[in-house]
Amino acid sequence: DIQMTQSPSSVSASVGDRVTITCRASQDISSWLAWYQQKPGKAPKVLLYAASSLQSGVPSRFSGSGSGTDFTLTISSLQPEDFATYYCQQANSFPYTFGQGTKLEIK
């Protein structure tokens, strides 16, 4: 199975800050990476797919980059509703695997 490792596991930031989360795959996954946001008690919601494609309806302050094994999710200017846990997921091969999550907290 492909292992997905996210860093950091948690980050504190303020409204208006720029935040970057990284995700590393244990082997080459091309660009087949998705990012999800999850709020307590809710299902994950897809933000980006194919590493950098924004899912319909997702604000443009979310962006993604990377290919191969190293990927980043950037939130350009944090809004109050962005405080949540973020997960990466590889869709290159089965089984799908997820990162362990990055909790974004209010400073």
Residues that bind another protein (CB under 8 A): 1, 32, 34, 36, 42-46, 49-50, 55, 87, 89, 91-92, 94-98, 100-101
**36 or 71, CB closer to another protein?**
36
In degrees and rounded to multiples of 5, residue 81 shows phi and psi of -75, -5
Distance CA 88, CA 72 (A): 9
**17 or 91, CB closer to another protein?**
91
**19 or 34, CB closer to another protein?**
34
Facing residues of 25 across strands?
Answer: 4
